[in-house]
Amino acid sequence: MLVAACSAAPEEIGVESSALGSNQCVSAKEQSTANIACPAGQTITKVVFASYGTPAGVCGGFSAGACNASTSTSVLSSKCVGKNACQIGSNNGVFGDPCPGTQKTLLAQVECSGGGGTTTPIDPTPTQGSSQVCASVNQNANAVLTCPSGQTISSIGFASYGTPTGACGSFAASSCNEPSSKSKVEAECLGKSTCTINANDGYFGDPCWGVSKALKIQATCSGSTSGEPTTPTTPPTPPATSDGKVYLGAYPGNGGCVYPAIENCVSWYEQQVGKKMAIVHAFSSFENGWDDWFTRVSQSGHTLMLTINPASKAIPDILAGVYDADLKRWGKAAADHSSGPIFFRYMHEMNLPNNPAGWMADHYGAANYIAAFRRVHDMLNAGAGSNTKIIHVWAPNVFWGAANASNSIWFKPYYPGDAYADWVGLDGYPMSPTDSFDAQFGPSLALLESMTSHPIMIAEYGVVEMNPVGTWKANWFTDLFGAQVGKHPQLKALFYQDGTDGGTDHRIDTSAQAVAAFKAAIAPAKFASSYP
C-alpha cells in the first residue's frame, strides 16, 4: 500500500497538509517551508505533482497555472525522493521566480512506500579513558571540536547538517538532514586532536532549500597520548600513470581562429612552439552536434579534448533528463567518428563563486552538482555503448584561500568520485608578478593529490606578460616544465590556452623570449606529442 504523510511545522503560517487515499499533499505559501514526512519505515518514492507559482485545485486534482516554475518537480524529486522526510523552502531562491511581483504558492503531492526509513543514532557513551566533545553552530559558522590534551578524535557518534535538535548527548536529526553529514565529518576529523568544519551548503549540500540550517556534532576522543594526529598505516596508492610522460596539449585560438579554421591554428601553434601537440582542446555545447573538423583533428594524429556544457547551464534541467538525448548523441558520435580515445570535460570550474553558470557553487550545492555530473557521465557512456573511447575529466578552478574557507571556493565537496572521473584537472591564469606556478597551482594540486590517485591535467593555463616583459613569462615557462613538473608525479598533461580573453593577452607569441623559453622547455622527450 502506498501512503504519504505531509505535516507542517506548528510555527509555519500558510502551510497546510491533507490526505486523499494513499496520497497526501502539502500547500505552502511563498516564504514558508513545506515539510514532508512519511510514516516510520517508509520513504518518499514519487513526486506525483509539484508546482511553484499559481497552481490550483485540491489534493488529487492539482493543476499548474500560467505561472509555474518548470523545475518544480525535478527540484522536489532531487531533494525528497528516497528519504523518509524532507523540508523545502517555498521561495524564489529555491525554484526561481516564474512571475515577478505575483504572490506564489507551492502545491505538492507525494507517495511513500516500503521500508528503509532511516535515523541518525548516537553512539553509546564513551568507554573509560575516553571523553565526549560536541559542537553546535548555525549555518556558515565554524564548528570546532577539541579533544583534551593527549587524545584524538576516534569516532563520530552523531553529525547532522540541517535542522537537528537537542543538546550534547541527546542530539536528534530532523526531517531536514544531509545523510552524508557523518561521513564528511569523519573524513575531516578522525585522528586529529582538534578539527574545524564550516557549516555551509557548499560542503555538505543543501538538504532543505530555503531553510536556515545548523550543524550539530558529537565525537569521542581517546587513544594516543601524544595529542598529535595519528598516521595512516595504509600506503598511498601510486599514480595511475607511471610511464613518466607528460602530454602536451593546447587550445589553439591565437589570431581569432574560429571553427572550422581552427585546424589551421593547430598548425600555426605547433610551428611556433616547435613540437606537435598530443591533445587538441576545443569547446562546444550539449546541444551542438559532432562537427566534421573534430573527425579530421582526431584522425590527424591528435587526440581530442572536448569541453561541452549545456546552454541553459541549469542543474535541474540535467537531472530532469532534458539533455539525455543530446549527450547520448555525443557519445555515439565519439565512438563512431574517432580513431582513438576522446577526453570529455564538462561542468568545469564549478567552485567559482558568483559565476552565471548554473552548476556553480553558489547555485544548487554540491550534492546536486555531483548527481548531475554523474548523469552526464552515464549518458555519454550509454551513447558510446560497448565501443566507448571516452575519458571523463573533472576540472575545478584553482582556489585562492584557506582550504576550509566558507566562500565556496574549495572544490573537494564537488568531486563525483573516482568511478566518474578518469582524469582530474585544474584551470588557472597567473595575473600578478607573485603568481608563480607553485603559488597559484601548488595548494590546489596538493589537495587533488590527497583526493585521488588518478592522473592530473592543467586543463587551462595562459600566461600574460609582466615586468620585466619577456623575461618574467619566459621564466614562468622554464620553471613549470622544469622544477614544477618534477614535483608532481601525477601531473600528466598541460593544456595552454592560446589567445585573448576578457582583455588579457596570453597568446604564446607575446614576446620572442617567451616563445623561445617555451620551445626549449618542452623539447625533452618526456613531453609527449602523442597520446597515449
Query: Which residues carry out catalysis?
Result: 349, 460
Q: What one-character-per-residue DSSP string does 251-269 give?
A: EE-GGG--TTTHHHHHHHH
**C-beta separation of 144 from 158 below 8 A:** no
Torsion, CA 318, CA 323, CA 324, CA 326, rounded to 10: -150
Q: Is 381 exposed, middle or buried (0-12, 13-18, 19+ CB in 10 A)?
A: middle
Nearest by Cα to 219 from 162, 166, 144: 144
Nearest to 430 by CA among 493, 472, 482: 472
CA gap 22, 5 in Å, rounded:
9
Nearest to 493 by CA among 160, 150, 247: 247
Q: H or E element: which one contains 91? A: none
Separation in Å, CA 103 to CA 28, 51, 55, 91, 95:
12, 13, 11, 10, 14
The contacts of residue 446 (CB under 8 Å, 6+ apart) are none
**Hunting for cell 596538493 — which residue is that?**
446
Closest CA to 272 of 511, 436, 526: 511
The single-letter code of the amino acid at 290 is: W
Cα separation, 158 vs 151, whole angstroms? 19
How far apart are the C-alpha atoms of 336 and 342, rounded to whole Å? 12
314: which strand partners? 358
Stated as kind and residue range, the H or E segment containing 307 is strand 303-309
Give me the helices (H) in 307-422, please.
315-319, 324-337, 365-384
- Helix (H) or strand (E) holding 93, with range, is helix 92-95
Q: How far apart are the first and last CA of the chain?
A: 55
